[in-house]
Amino acid sequence: MNYLTITTAWKRFSLLSLSTLLLTATGFSQFLGLESEVHATSEHGTTYRIYAEFGSATDECVAVYSVGAAEDNPVTLELGVTTSFYQNGGGANLGSGINAFFLTMIPEIGYDSWFTIGSETNEDPTISSIGMAGAFTEFNNGNGFVLGEGAVGGSWYITPGSNDLALAGDDGMVLLGQFTAADDADGNPGHVTCDWNIQWRDEAGVSSNALGATHDTADNLPDVFGCTDEAACNFDSAATADDGSCDYLDALDVCGGACTADADADGICDDEDDCVGSLDACGVCNGPGDIYDCGCSDIPAGDCDCNGTQAAEGYDCAGDCLADADGDGVCDPFEVAGCTDSDACNYNDLATDDDGSCAVLDECGVCGGNGIAEGACDCDGNTPNAGYDCDGVCLNDADQDGTCDEFEVLGCTDSTACNYNPTATEEDGSCAEEDECGVCGGSGIPEGACDCQGNTLDALGVCGGTCLADDDNNGVCDSEDVLGCMDATACNYNPLATVSDDSCAVEDECGVCGGTGF
């Protein structure tokens, strides 16, 4: 895999890495497309300027590029022309290479074809290029080209933040190139086609890419109106739309003339040749000659002399105002209303009549402004946060602890207490300790109980026991007492007995337990 590395002061990247970027950042969120205008026309053809249009004045065009076939996600860049490009020997491939001094000396350089991102001469920030040697060769031969069909692509680009001319500005436009296309054999304007890929950044520095932005300057060529009838005497071979202006030779060979006949061939149309006789010095048939103030006529109405001199608008022939209501020597039609106070911020040095509009700068530097708005902290209209004044000081802080009353949090502030509240800013006397049952703020074992669950002692003294009585105090609950012989020496001893029932017996001489013997 081939890497074509572009190195600038702002970063080092490859067209391979750029192709990867296209997968994640391609979009038209702010890029509106390519636009063109006819910048000039000359013997060299029509000079177009092509622009990138953006939706925000702070968008910055960074590069126009292609990505080669050896890289991920290849894209080509195409420039076409229907005729050929004009290239001046004193020009350059990039706008920043045009010598501004030579441009003033050799105006023809102004029609040279070149690429750019904002810059137009060497007095503007530098535009860089990479991978475009072959494309420039074709371009300088007057041809279009396709860039990026090989292993690697190419680009013309800037270092971000280095060229204010790369910002869209108020009109949203960034100049990408100037191209002069020669006229075709019929004198029709040539036109330029583009299929370009654009990289730009928004104000936050987030980069985006637009792929396949196309444009044809023919879309912006205005119709050339004129006569399109070759039989007409004013036929215009360059016209593309007939405007109804075609004229034809009349009987006097006048293009567009109205004469239908000149039988006497005196150069005067018959329907106008009404003089029978000779013309006098004034051209009047049998006239008296040049006997008037101006020879053949009086001074025409509205003129000031025989030369046709007319009084300037608003003045008479003597140079006096026809109307000057305030007598200030400025004719009423030419009065300019405005502020005549040179100390005012809106002083108008062209004003001849003060209209009472004079103003001063307010505290925000606005001419005639109202200053900082009520409730605002500054000229930008910023307001204080809730609870604070413009200096960030609490409007209400009764205990002067630096926490505004509105934001005080009541609670226990003793870190050793079981109900300590780390967010509390105001002690409310609620701090407590754990009781013997582990309850925060609890009252301990209830009175009369033997444990935290509220149990009591039963008849055997067991906490929470169930024995209700031990009347014989033998340590066995009455409900569980067993009657029997408790004498271990007796023959009827009952080891389970808990209460003696006086039944103990002994064996008689016959070995009978409790027997009577012989």
Q: What pLDDT, in 10s, does the model give residues 388-428?
A: 888 888 888 888 887 888 888 888 988 898 889 998 888 88
Q: 339 and 191 share a domain?
A: no
Residue 60 lies inside a defined structural domain of this protein: yes
How many helices (H) and strands (E) the chain has is answered by: 3, 21
> Over the chain, what is the mean pLDDT?
86
CA distance linking residue 514 with residue 112, whole number of Å: 145
- Dig out the tokens for 380 from the structure: 């930008």
Using a pLDDT cut of 70, give the percent of the chain over it: 93
Choosing from 220, 253, 272, the residue where a domain stops is 220
Instruction: Write the DSSP string, 326-372.
Output: T-SSS-GGG--EEB--TTSTTB-TT-SEE-S----B-TTS-BT---S
Residues of the domain holding 132: 31-220
How far apart are alpha carbons 331 and 422 in whole angstroms?
A: 82
Is 496 a domain residue?
Answer: no
Select the more confidently predicted residue: 139 or 473: 139
Cβ count within 10 A of residue 470: 18
Residue 454 lies in a domain: no
Once rounded to an integer, what is the mean pLDDT over residues 67-81? 91
Averaged pLDDT for residues 60-68? 96
Rounded distance between C-alpha atoms, residue 112 and residue 363, angstroms: 51
Dmax over Cα atoms in the chain, in whole Å?
209
**Is 177 contained in some domain?**
yes
Beta-carbon contacts of residue 375 (< 8 Å; ≥ 6 apart)? 383
The alpha carbon torsion through 259, 265, 270, 272 (nearest 10 deg) reads: 80
Beta strands at 426-427 and 410-411: parallel, antiparallel or unpaired: parallel
Q: Give the per-residue pLDDT at 276.
A: 58
496 pLDDT tier (thresholds 50, 70, 90): confident
Position 347 in a domain: yes
The per-residue pLDDT for range 363-382, each reduced to its tens digit, is 898 998 888 888 888 888 88
3-state secondary structure of 156: strand
47, part of any domain? yes
Instruction: Calculate the alpha carbon distances from 175 to 460, 493, 508 in Å.
Output: 104, 122, 137
Last residue of a domain, one of 194, 220, 246: 220
Could you give the number of structural domains in the chain? Answer: 2
**Separation in Å, CA 485 to CA 278, 418, 491, 493, 507:** 185, 60, 9, 5, 14
Residue pLDDT, tens place only, 434-448: 888 888 988 888 888
336 and 215 assigned to the same domain: no
Token pair 């730009």: residue: 200
Q: What is the DSSP letter of 267?
A: S
What does the pLDDT look like over 83-97, one tens digit per residue? 999 999 999 999 999
Rounded Cα distance between 90 and 110, Å, is 10
CA 40 to chain centre: 31
Among the three residues 185, 220, 255, which one is the final residue of a domain in this structure?
220
pLDDT 10s digits, 19-50 = 433 433 444 448 999 999 999 999 999 999 99
Residue 181 sits in a domain whose CATH number is 2.60.40
Tell me whether residue 96 is in a domain.
yes
- Please name the residue ranges forming H helices in 124-278: 133-140
User: Residue 50: which of 77, 18, 29, 74 has the closest Cα?
Assistant: 77
Q: Are residues 352 and 212 located together in one domain of the fold?
A: no
Whether 357 maps to a domain, the answer reads: yes
